[in-house]
Homo-oligomer: A and B are copies of this chain.
Amino acid sequence: MLNPVKVGLLGLGTVGGGTINVLQRNAQEISRRAGRGIVVTHASARDLTKPRLCHTDGITLTTEPFDVINDPNVDIIAELIGGTTLAKELVLKAINNGKHVVTANKALIALHGNEIFAAAQQKGVMVAFEAAVAGGIPIIKAIREGLTGNQIAWLAGIINGTSNFILSEMRDKGRDFADVLNEAQRLGYAEADPTFDVEGIDAGHKLTILASIAFGIPLQFDKVYTEGITQITREDVGYAEELGYRIKLLGIAKRTEKGIELRVHPTFIPVQHLIANVNGVMNAIVVRGDAVGQTLYYGAGAGADPTASAVVADLVDVVRMLTTDPENHVPHLAFQANALSNVAILPISDIESIYYLRMTALDRLGVLAQVTRILSDCGISIEAIMQKAPPDDVDQVPIVLLTHAVLEKQVNQAIAQIEALEGIHGHVKKIRVEMLEQ
């Protein structure tokens, strides 16, 4: 295999630390996908004495970010310092040095993307920015590559987790805006200065980017209307509910006959729509294309690991483009053909699951006791059980229960014994249960 690609990281904060952690933890998986290792060799941070969330052994550390972008051994720069002044200077200089750039910086792209992309195109380097919008959700890729057959009619997104957390809490607990904001700050979901989040500016940056890739228009943040959630009261949240709506801070980009609408504001949306049920700090974007109809993309919009997920995906994109043959730069099965693994596929009897069991008991004393005894003997705990009283003229009673997680073969064994009971009529119905956690 080729030598690893060398990444220089600007910024060792939340996202920088997360990126190093993900690259280290999933190194093997990532190189099986990229066809080549990806290693952070250089990193800059303002204060090198600060405790870090990641291991920096083997990484050349400096307080001088220009040293990183000027190092001839670095192939790709990951800009993770945020802000639009120093970050802009660094990114443009890195491009000028012939480095590919990956950035998580939405403000930088929304405000200076046109200039940055022009410079990159001139120098023949890549600039990737999936992490700039909606954290780990691959929404840039979905619109830019997945929906290329469509004329996009509109998109609408919950693209600021802090605001969504506040609105969710106001609704769930009938609390006031200021009260929830305080808690969000305490939990680290909101900055000490929450203006960018609660006034819709952060969402406006992201909307600027989404609208450009949806409609093919230049980035123009200055044309985005932004209105935050600070004026939303408990009363509004309550009336919305009574009328069948939820209030969400949406970024909306819409193509109309008169022109394009770009706006961020609190919005009533029907409770039946999937996106109305996106709660807490989660993000989601609905995109309506003329061919595909509505599609929705949901996930974590911020945080160290989710944002790192997008940064690393961009790094892999760059590496795949640099490294592999053009006809197969993305392997058919995501992993390089020579890196597929032969891990065993389990037979269904060896899976572990929670089970719903339904059976019909003849209404005789003791049948339920026999059933629970069999389950217990087979090592199966019961999570919930329902036995309904039968109508007067019927002597068959349905028994319904949920087990704890067990092996399928244990359940099958128990079912065979239960079906053999005299007091049980017919077969035991078995349906697997998935909690979809973790």
Contacts and interface: CB of A to CB of B under 8 A. Distances in A.
A213 to B, nearest CB: 4
Interface string A308-319: 111111011100
A340 B269 contact: no
A141 B144 contact: no
Contact of A435 (B137, B236, B270, B300): B270
Contacts of A6: none
A295 B136 contact: yes
A318 to B, nearest CB: 9
A153 B117 contact: no
Contacts of A429: 231, 233, 236
A136 B431 contact: no
Interface stretch (A187-195, A345-353, A389-397): A345-353
B299 A344 contact: no
Contact of A259 (B262, B266, B328, B345): B345
A306 B293 contact: yes
B297 A296 contact: yes
Interface stretch (A58-66, A242-250, A368-376): A242-250
Contacts of A232: 431
Interface in A97-153: 113, 117-118, 120-121, 124-127, 130, 135-138, 141-151, 153
Interface stretch (A21-29, A44-52, A175-183, A198-206): A21-29
A225 to B, nearest CB: 4
Nearest to A263: B348
A333 B212 contact: yes
Contacts of A148: 30, 33-34, 312-313, 316-317, 334
Most buried by B among A120, A242, A289, A292: A292
A144 B150 CA distance: 21
Which size class do A's interface residues fall under?
35 or more
Contacts of A312: 148-149, 291
Given A156-B434, A328-B126, A216 B337 contact: no
Nearest to A316: B148
A77 to B, nearest CB: 15
Contacts of A153: 438
A306 B340 CA distance: 31
11 contacts: A30-B149, A130-B146, A136-B291, A148-B334, A149-B308, A156-B434, A212-B334, A216-B334, A216-B341, A236-B431, A274-B277
Given A138-B295, A269-B434, A291-B305, 4 more contacts: A30-B148, A216-B334, A243-B386, A326-B326
**Closest 7 pairs between A and B when the two form their complex, measured CB to CB:** A138-B146, A149-B312, A216-B335, A136-B292, A295-B299, A259-B344, A223-B345
